[in-house]
Chain A
Amino acid sequence: MDQMTKFFRSGKFRLIDYHYPANYNVLVSYKGPFDKNVLNMLGENIREIIVPNSITGKKISKIFIELAKNIGSYSAERIILEKGTSGGIGSLVLVDSDNHYSFITGNLTMSTEIEPIVERCKLINSMDKNGLRKMKREQLKQGKYEREGADIGLIQLALTSENPLDYEIIQVDSTHSFFSLTVQINK
């Protein structure tokens, strides 16, 4: 992954640029492994910031769980945790804007896995609510018993957020890409 170094800027790292990015009100930001302790801690932090017992608040909690679980399960950058389990490394930022909140997440992915994800996002974004519910039902019906997940995470993100999935792919080296997903929740 030597080519990744081209993404690293030289010069002094100014923490204030990270802490207070220009033009953005960042409520939560985290980079690291998404294991169960982190999920718990970040989840609690987020719930302290948002309005409790509101439709928006519940949406934010639900979306956080799915996004964090995705990074933990699917990131190609992994760290070995206790008892031989591994946790996916990624980034998650929650930004507060005038009319909406945005979760921006990102993690390394094998480039070969990008195309199906992009196709799925495009399909999801082309559908209205009823189309998404139908797609979710079809996917649940086809689900394999042995498989732990339901493979409806992206559909659920679109349904809960009531917004299109905003994604970006940046090729990092010959085999890896950085997959970034933004999910917006209207206030």
Chain B
Amino acid sequence: MENLIIQGSEGEFDVPSVHFNAETGICEISGESYLEKTAEFYDRLLNWIDQYINEVGKSITFNFKLTYFNTSSSKRILYIMLKLKEYINKGGEVTANWYYNKADIEMEEDIEDLSMIAKLDVNMIQDDSIKFDPFDKESTE
């Protein structure tokens, strides 16, 4: 099966970058998630995970590296976590990691809340290379 690669963008809306690898089972979503059509975007990701589970059926390492997501996106991120949990319940092997800047208290709370609803163990990893304020475009260039 093919990898899913989406190059993120900033501008009118902020599209996260996606690298889902069907050979290694390593899936990464990074950047900012603030989309015009949130459900449509995340459906592609959810469908890919479904296909991977059905056709490949190996382990998944899911690395969340989002620096910002709006409330509409948070609902879709929850659906990813629920899908990973469902895979675990069916015997799938899943490692979920969330990399975030330690200054981002709200992000830490969001990760806790989403993983709590999904009943998914998420390794919360503090990482200084993750931006605290993605809206501050100039200092990151």
B23 at the A interface (CB under 8 A): no
B133 adjacent to A53 (CB under 8 Å)? yes
**With A36-B12, A69-B70, A156-B71 in contact, do A53 and B113 touch (Cβ < 8 Å)?**
no
**Could you count the A-B residue pairs with CB atoms below 8 Å apart for me: how many are there?**
77
Q: Is A118 interfacial (CB 8 A cutoff)? A: no
Number of interface residues of B (CB under 8 A): 31
Could you say which residues of chain B place their CB within 8 Å of the CB of A140? 74-75, 78, 113-114, 117
Interface size of A in residues (CB-CB distance below 8 Å): 33
Q: How far is the CB of A158 from chain B (nearest CB, A)?
A: 12
Whether A133 contacts B113 by the Cβ 8 Å rule is yes
Please tell me if B56 contacts chain A, counting CB pairs below 8 Å. Answer: no
Q: In the docked arrangement, what's the CA distance between A148 and B71, Å? A: 10
Does B138 count as interface, using CB distance less than 8 angstroms? Answer: yes
Q: Smallest CB–CB gap between A128 and chain B, Å?
A: 14
Q: Would B133 and A40 count as touching, CB distance under 8 A? A: no
Known A58-B135, A150-B71, A150-B75; 13 more pairs at CB < 8 Å = A47-B135, A53-B139, A57-B136, A62-B70, A65-B70, A136-B113, A140-B74, A140-B78, A143-B78, A146-B39, A152-B74, A152-B75, A153-B71
Q: List 15 A-B contacts (CB under 8 A).
A: A36-B13, A37-B12, A40-B12, A55-B103, A61-B135, A62-B68, A66-B70, A69-B72, A136-B113, A143-B75, A148-B37, A150-B72, A152-B74, A152-B75, A156-B71
